[in-house]
Amino acid sequence: MPELTYREAVRDALAQALRADENVFVMGEDIAEMGGSMAVTQGLLEEFGPTRIRNTPISEMAIVGSGIGAAIQGMRPIVEIMYEDFLTLSMEQLVNQAAKHRTMSGGQVKVPLTIRTQGGAGWSPGAQHAQQLEAWFVHVPGLKVVFASTPQDVRGLLWSAIYDDNPVIFFEHRTLYPIKGEVPSELEPIPLGEARVHREGTDVTVVATGRLVHESLRAAEEAERDGISVEVVDPRTLLPLDEDTIVGSVRKTTRCVTAHEAVARGGFGSELAAVIQHGAFDWLDAPIERIGAKFAPLPFAPAMEQWVVPHAAEVLEAIRRTVARS
């Protein structure tokens, strides 16, 4: 199997979708000549030209809103919001328009729009360039939400997002762009709404997203040395959620830790905990532990930033706490 970086995997899915379907086009800030602020769209302008690879002004509301309008007319736009912090500026179009048209129109209108964005801490940009806001969108009926953590997943899921007939917010994590991983030689679409079990185990289930999938896998290896067997599950799609796989895993292991980089309070882990306690109440041997960033705007100084966001060590401690209960 060939190896791609996460960045290359995103680019490959975009390029293949652009080749496969003339209705697919990409727009966003600095995505053309510069190839995007994360170099994801590099080379696409050369292959597909400026009509389909469109630089936009700094107008997040209009970028998303015009994407919605084009999508309703049968295009399959992929819009890039440079940092997910700036999704806040397109919130109205996302929440009140994109998410609502299908239902408000009594099913007449479809919005096959993909909104790609990225975020994540670990490089000290300060409070406005590294938030993880995925939980906000999971609260909105009418949106789909994806957060991919490996090259293989990001490629297969992005394809499915592009060809989904509904608006999908597609989160990428900045620190994952350089990681490498094997991918199938032919692009294999991964259906939205299917979790991935990264590692099987019998004592504790860690349900993790984004960067924390990798931190959790590291924590699981550490735990293994202490004789604790950890299962690591990545939902990959947060909305719709693969409740069966997640609840099934916890029924098996009887303990659960949720882990993401976003702040713990009101984070996606809270929703997971609610789903799991309801579905696996009679099986649980310990309270569900939630790992997430501490509740603070991200400070600039590296020592503070590193302390605020979670790493493998915090996941490992949580694993140990759940095991210590019984």
Partner 1 sequence: MATVEERAEPGRKKVSEEVLRDFFREMLLIRRFEEKVEERFRAGELPGFLHVAIGQEAVATGVCSALALEDVFASTHRAHGHSIAKGTPAKKIMAELYGKTEGCSGGYGGSMHLYDLSVGNLGANAVVAGGLPGIVGAALAFQMRGEKRVAVAFFGDGATNTGTFHESLNLAQLWRVPAIFVLENNGWAESTPAVQQLPLPVDQMGKRAAAFGMKLIEADGQDVEAVYLAALAAREHALAGKGPVLLHLRTFRLTGHFVGDPQVYRDRDELKQERETKDPLRLLGARLDLSDGDFASVDADVTAEVEAAVEFAKAGTDPKPEDALKYVYA
Ligand X SMILES: Cc1ncc(C[n+]2csc(CCOP(=O)(O)OP(=O)(O)O)c2C)c(N)n1
Q: Which residues participate in catalysis according to the annotation?
A: 60, 129
* Piece of the chain touching ligand X by CB under 6 A; list 81-89, 162-170, 228-236, 273-281: 81-89
Comparison of 2 and 297: residue with beta carbon closer to partner 1:
297
Q: Give the one entry of partner 1, ligand X, none that residue 274 binds, where binding means its C-beta sits below a cut-off of 5 to 8 angstroms depending on kind.
A: none
Minimal distance, residue 304 CB to partner 1, in Å: 4
- Pick one of 9, 13, 82, 264: the residue that binds ligand X (CB under 6 A): 82
Question: Measured from the CB of residue 129, what is the shortest distance to ligand X in angstroms?
Answer: 7
User: Residue 118 forms beta bridges with which residues?
Assistant: 172
> What's the closest the beta carbon of residue 206 comes to ligand X, in angstroms?
34
Q: Kindly tell me which of 89 and 308 has the beta carbon lying closer to ligand X.
A: 89
Instruction: Choose the contact partner of 299 out of ligand X, partner 1, none; CB within 5 to 8 A by kind.
Output: partner 1
Pairing of strands 237-239, 196-199: unpaired
Under a CB-based contact definition with an 8 Å cutoff, are residues 209 and 234 in contact?
yes
Residues between 15 and 34 that touch ligand X (CB under 6 A): 29
As a whole number of angstroms, the distance between CA 104 and CA 142 comes to 10
Count of residues in contact with ligand X, rule CB under 6 A: 6
Instruction: Report CA-CA distances (Å) from 97 to 45, 47, 110.
Output: 29, 32, 11
Q: Which residues on adjacent β-strands are paired with residue 77?
A: 25
**CB of 195 or CB of 315, closer to partner 1:** 315
CB 55, min distance to partner 1, A: 5
Per CB under 8 A, residues contacting partner 1 are: 29-30, 32-35, 37, 55-62, 85-86, 89, 123-129, 294-297, 299-308
For 55-81, the DSSP string reads E--S-HHHHHHHHHHHHHTT-EEEEEE
The strand pair at 196-199 and 230-234 is best described as antiparallel
> Which residues partner with 26 through β-bridges?
53, 78
Q: Is 58 in the site for ligand X (CB under 6 A)?
A: yes
Residue 86 interacting with ligand X (CB under 6 A): yes
- From residue 125, alpha-carbon distances to 284, 290, 299, 305 in Å are 40, 25, 9, 9
- Least Å distance, CB 297 to partner 1, is 8
What distance in Å separates the CA atoms of residue 17 and residue 219, rounded to the nearest whole number?
36
Specify the DSSP element, H or E, that contains 207.
Answer: strand 204-208
Interface contacts to ligand X, rule CB under 6 A:
29, 58, 60, 82, 86, 89
